[in-house]
Structure 1
Amino acid sequence: MAGLSATRRKARPQDEVLLDRELEDLPPELRWREWMLRVEAVIFAAAEPVTRETLTRVVGRNCSIELLIDDLREELRDRPYDIVAVAGGWQHRSRSAYTSAIRASQAPTRSVTASLSETEAAVLAAIAYLQPVTRGELSNMFGKEVSRDTIASLRDAGFLGSGPRSPTPGAPYTYVTTKHFLSAFGLETLRDLPDLERLEDAGLLSRQALGEGATAESESDSAEE
């Protein structure tokens, strides 16, 4: 066992240098090309958006990830897919022009939005715009109780996480959206959400209603997780 442990300890430093990130032996043009291919391969193989931190593990210290992505996207201009910024990273996504063809090739499935009930979609939208927000605040905004089951369903779907405790009496939990929410709805950041004022004008959300009811917290909220 001791010999095996020693072998593993010796192998670890070698594992860290197996990939030549700097490629200093290559001419600049070939070095850049190899970095591009590495970045594309990593993004292509990933099921979730790939972060900058992940991509920097496969390229040199002075390599600009943004410029690499720009060059890759330029090469993909005539392809039916692109590399897009989403949920704090980059991901291969099919172009919208080919959505119908892709859907026609697949067995019928429910989309992300179709899988949500009307109530769940409304609650998720409110949380996305007003986060961090408590269940009590949501209930006051909608004029009826937002059930724990609704929150649990959105959490189980990966759209919600726990935010900081509210400074209101009882210190209830708040809720925030997740990176999975951004990825599922094709958003890079929350700044990409549709303009809130337009939704307010349409009567779909009301920050004023939320502010008026923010102090009416139920004691039961403080026990939520």
Structure 2
Amino acid sequence: MRGNGDEHDDGGKPVEDGEAEGDLFPAERASAMRMIEALLFASRDLLGPDEIAARLPGKIDIPGVVEDLRRVYSTRGVNLVEISGKWGFRTAEDLSYLLSREQVEERRLSRAALETLAIIAYHQPVTRAEIEEIRGVSTSRGTVDVLLETEWIRMRGRRRTPGRPVTYGTTDAFLEHFMLASVSDLPGLDELKGTGLLDSAVPAGFSVPVPNDSSELREEEDPIDETELFDLMVEGDETTNDRDS
């Protein structure tokens, strides 16, 4: 093992910093260490004594040689570790922060989620029942949950109708993501036709509502306090067994 000047090799000679580890062991031992080191370095999986022995010539004290290797690598950037009787190289625990990387996971929204988001953006404040009426199919809680997780929509309040359903609206994060100064910058009927997102032959009387994301509650909305909002985020505003189609 590489020393600090106080250690000695087998012949009693002081070991100087920078001296090759192979010089500290007899030739056969050093050769066995190199072979085992190569096997462990190249293997994606941990290797046990039988797997190592199957590739080495002659009979070698594998546990002893591995222990020598473990000491050699004990202060390196990678350490030789034993897990369930097998060995492998792993990054030194105190250096793991160097290899960590935060990465944003991109997830493609489903068609149901996109449709739901568009309805909320244009028709806010809107309840889930109203979303289902516009889409023509039931909207699962999972679809709304995904949009809440992206923080593109929020629970605004409760509609003053039987059952007091939750109303939804968009957020500043929605505007930022879609690079909109305000929700009123969403395309109108003529723009949607021009981009091909709407058939030019739309039904007579068809219109696109002018979106309004004002944080002010409407006359038909009651506020949601923080405790109730937390319960809604955990349990959902409604229970349904239906799935989006």
Name the TM tier (shorter chain): 0.3 to 0.5
Tell me which structure has the larger Cα radius of gyration: 2
Query: What's the TM-score once normalised by structure 2's chain length?
Result: 0.36
Structure with the greater relative contact order (CA < 8 A, sep ≥ 6): 1 or 2? 1
The structure in which a higher percent of residues are helix is 1
